[in-house]
Structure 1
Amino acid sequence: MRGCTWICLALFLVMAGCANDKEENKEVTSENDVDAARNFIRSALDGNWREARRFMLQDSTNTQLLDTYENNYQTHMNKEDKRGYREASITLFDTREVNDSVAIIKYSNSFKKQKDSLRVVRMDGTWLVDLKFSFPQTDTSAHAH
């Protein structure tokens, strides 16, 4: 009887561990334009650049812009500012639908409290942030400071 109890306990622990792995590995997805913007902003505020890229329109200009922001975050930002961004909440002010596959999201974060806008586009049924709208300059070094 004692052996059966240990086997049941071991099986229970294995099953519980598998359930937790599924929860932890659950991938964040965007159901709409607002979700895509919020997921991108949250990832960027947290300094999770790999995750932010998942919510971004993949092209050379957007990649270059995000690389610049990531480099600035890693090399120039102090620990207090990083913590401030990580702890910041996101405030969404307005969503303007340009058409059925483009929206402009106005937002700020509670750390810097500066209003900004993101363009979100639907590509192949997936909503993605297009950074070129917010930063149309061709020289991304202007955003490094």
Structure 2
Amino acid sequence: MKTIRQISCNVLVVILLASCMGNNYLPAATALEGGREFIDACLKGDFDKAAFYMINDSVNTEDLLKIKRDYNLKPSDEKYSYSGASIIINADETINDSTHIINYKNSYDKVARKVKVIKRNDRWLVDFKYTFDGNL
């Protein structure tokens, strides 16, 4: 009986340690959720989280690194203002069953922007390069 209890405790410790490691990000269930999570992570300077909600390709990764570098050069008070900004969704345009274009701005700088969100492998992910080149 003591051995079973000891094994159970060891298994519980391993599960707890595994759950503490890595990220706790949940895949987005909708295009709007995926876009919002990505945008919010960028506003808060959490670029690991933003990458989780982004299609992983070389152009997107390069664009995200550029945004991260620009963010890191901002003064602390500006970073604080961005991190506290609300996301304002102007439009969520459904292109087809697996593609949405989200037109948004944030409450701090109020500049209208767009992100393209694509469903891949049952996950809604931002195709960040669309923000810069605008091609579907």
The question of a shared fold, defined as TM-score above 0.5 by the shorter chain, is answered with yes
2:8 maps to none
1:31 maps to 29
Alpha-carbon distance between aligned partners in 1 of 2:118 and 2:27, rounded to the nearest angstrom: 15
The runs of 5 or more residues in structure 1 that have no matched partner are: 1-17, 138-145
Aligned sequence identity (%):
30
- Amino acid in structure 1 at the alignment position of 2:33: D
Stretch of structure 1 that moved more, 83-92 or 128-137: 128-137
1:93 maps to 90
Q: Count matched residues.
A: 115
2:54 maps to 56
**Alpha-carbon distance, 1:28 to partner:** 3.5
* TM-score normalised to structure 2 length: 0.79
Q: Structure 1 segments of 4 or more deviating over 6 A?
A: none
Q: Secondary structure at the match of 2:64?
A: helix
State the Cα deviation string for residues 110-132 of structure 1 (Å, max 9, x = none): 00011111100011111000111
Alpha-carbon distance between aligned partners in 2 of 1:68 and 1:27, rounded to the nearest angstrom: 23
Alpha-carbon distance between aligned partners in 1 of 2:24 and 2:49, rounded to the nearest angstrom: 13
1:122 equivalent in alignment to 2:125: no
1:70 maps to 68
**Structure number with larger C-alpha Rg:** 1
- Amino acid in structure 1 at the alignment position of 2:28: S
Q: Secondary structure at the match of 1:134?
A: helix
RMSD between superposed Cα atoms in Å: 1.7
* TM-score normalised to structure 1 length: 0.74
